[in-house]
Amino acid sequence: VHLWTLGLDWWWKKRIIDKIPRVAQLILDQGCGTGILTFRMARRFPTSRVIGVELHQDYISLAAKKAKALGLNNVKLIIGRAEDVVLRDRFDCITSSYLSKYAEMGKLIRGAKKMLRKGGLLIMHDFTYPRNRIVACSLGIYFRMMRTFGRFGFPQWEKAFYELEDYIRQSSWVTDLISSLDRHGFVNIRIDRLTLGFATIVSAKSKN
């Protein structure tokens, strides 16, 4: 993903981490994949506990190996679907990156409401389709290039190269998320458009 976004993913994840309260002691990373964001948070907040939840066993296995190699003792990994894993802990912050466009939003937010402490922060990041026609056209050209050349260097990602553009174009995750946050009583909802609208971060606080 770092290569595919031309390094922008590193900056986007920095924006996520910069939003996390400095006093956060318990952080949940939903759809953590191989732990890219999870481990960056664990290093930034070494005295905090960071829990990553991921559906795919192969990703969890790789993340576990990486955590051990990095010597991160403040990370716990759980296998499961983000919408279904509702822990009893009261989290200071819940994050996700690239989960939103695939998520069952209503169920995900109901679970987040149960897990966040009063005033806890929810931060969700994902791709969005640019509103500007010129930017959208440029993105379409880039997708075609990735489909042509990327599949040779990364054949395991060929399906993603062909499907991701339509996923992003058709996804209404931002409006669905905001609607769900309103229904569940979240406040201080903020939308940050990133990199000419190619990605978006939505954050909100729990009133629990």
pLDDT digits (tens, 9 = 90+) for 69-118: 999 999 999 999 999 999 999 999 999 999 999 999 999 999 999 999 99
**What average pLDDT is seen over the chain?**
91
Residue 117 pLDDT: 97
- The answer to whether the beta carbons of residues 120 and 188 sit under 8 Å apart is no
Local confidence band at 5 (pLDDT 50, 70, 90 cut-offs): confident
The packing angle between helices 57-70 and 36-44, to 10°, is 30
Report pLDDT for 61: 97
The confidence score (pLDDT) of residue 156 equals 61
**Which one has a higher pLDDT value, 197 or 151?**
197
- Given pLDDT bands bounded at 50, 70 and 90, which one contains residue 136? confident
Are 82 and 31 in contact, with CB atoms under 8 Å apart?
yes
Least confident of 32-41, 74-83, 165-174: 165-174
**The pLDDT of residue 159:** 61
The token pair that represents 87 in the structure block? 């822990």
Mean predicted confidence (pLDDT) in 44-55? 97
Of 6 and 149, the one with more pLDDT: 6
Q: 203 is written with which tokens?
A: 């954050």
Local confidence band at 153 (pLDDT 50, 70, 90 cut-offs): low
Asked if 173 and 99 touch (Cβ cutoff 8 Å), the reply is no
Q: Dihedral through CA 13, CA 193, CA 53, CA 42, nearest 10? A: 30
In the chain, alpha helices (H): 8-19, 36-44, 57-70, 105-115, 133-145, 151-153, 158-170, 173-183
| Burial environment of residue 138 by CB neighbours within 10 A (0 to 12, 13 to 18, 19 or more) | middle
Residue 164 has pLDDT above 80, yes or no: no
Q: Which residue has the higher pLDDT, 64 or 137?
A: 64
Beta bridge mates, 83: none
Q: Which candidate, 102, 61, 66, places its Cα nearest to that of 83?
A: 102
Give the model's pLDDT for residue 170: 85
In terms of pLDDT, which residue wins out, 173 or 151? 173
Residue 137 has pLDDT above 90, yes or no: no
Question: What is the pLDDT at residue 152?
Answer: 65
Rounded CA gap, 124 and 175, in Å? 13
Number of neighbours of residue 208 by Cβ within 10 angstroms: 15
